[in-house]
């Protein structure tokens, strides 16, 4: 009986450790794959809580990093906490937020050189969770004259 109880405690603690490894699943998508140089790059980030406990959205977003071409960039400031919604993501629930990459003072600390002409792979990281990768293309100014 004592051995069975010990095994149960070990399995329970392993389950707890695994749950805290990736508390959320991150997914990003963009409707636009080609951007002009200097244009903001906008995409949607969906965060889904796979834990058995409430997860603080602001703590997660404020600790997030953007990964561009394999390099991580931190946020410049805290995510606004006066948005009129809840700051808690309950177990099994998800939320989507719009993010914008801008070298002109955006949320993440990136420069124009990071989003130079060419293809770029973008992902979002929060603690140990990392999103899928999207590929965008930055081009020179598009000719819009007829």
Quote the pLDDT of residue 130: 94
Tell whether 58 is covered by a domain.
yes
Query: Does some domain include residue 14?
Result: no
Confidence at residue 99, expressed as pLDDT on a 0 to 100 scale: 85
Residue 137: predicted pLDDT = 95
Q: Write out the residue range of the structural domain in which residue 61 sits.
A: 23-139
Give the closest residue to 127 by CA, choosing from 29, 48, 20, 51.
20
Report the distance separating Cα 137 and Cα 103, nearest Å.
16
* Residues of the chain with confidence (pLDDT) below 70: 1-21, 77-85, 103, 105, 142-146
Note whether residue 125 is domain-resident: yes
- Whether 17 is covered by a domain: the verdict is no
What are the backbone dihedrals phi and psi of residue 13, each rounded to the nearest 5 degrees, phi first? -70, -35
Q: Which pLDDT belongs to residue 146?
A: 59
CB 129 within 8 A of CB 24: yes
131 neighbors 125 (Cβ within 8 angstroms): yes
The pLDDT of residue 75 is: 80
Total number of domains in the chain: 1
Whether residue 121 is contained in a domain is answered as yes
* H-helix or E-strand spanning residue 67: strand 65-68
**pLDDT (0 to 100) of residue 84:** 58
Residue 47: which of 39, 35, 34, 59 has the closest Cα? 59
Whether 106 is in a domain gets the answer yes
Which CATH number do you get for residue 30? Answer: 2.60.40.10
What is the model's pLDDT at position 62?
Answer: 78
């Amino acid at each position: 009986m004592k051995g069975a109880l010990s095994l149960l405690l070990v399995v329970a603690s392993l389950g707890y450790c695994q749950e805290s490894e990736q508390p959320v699943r991150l997914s990003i998508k963009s409707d636009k794959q080609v951007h002009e140089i200097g244009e903001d790059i906008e995409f949607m980030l969906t965060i889904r809580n796979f834990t058995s406990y409430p997860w603080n959205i602001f703590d997660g977003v404020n600790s997030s990093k953007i990964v561009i071409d394999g390099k991580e960039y931190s946020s410049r400031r805290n995510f606004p906490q006066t948005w009129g919604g809840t700051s808690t993501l309950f177990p099994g629930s998800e939320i989507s937020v719009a993010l914008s990459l801008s070298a002109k003072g955006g949320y993440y600390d990136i420069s124009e050189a990071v989003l130079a002409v060419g293809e770029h792979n973008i992902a979002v990281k929060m603690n140990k969770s990392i999103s899928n990768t999207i590929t965008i293309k930055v081009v020179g100014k598009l000719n819009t004259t007829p």
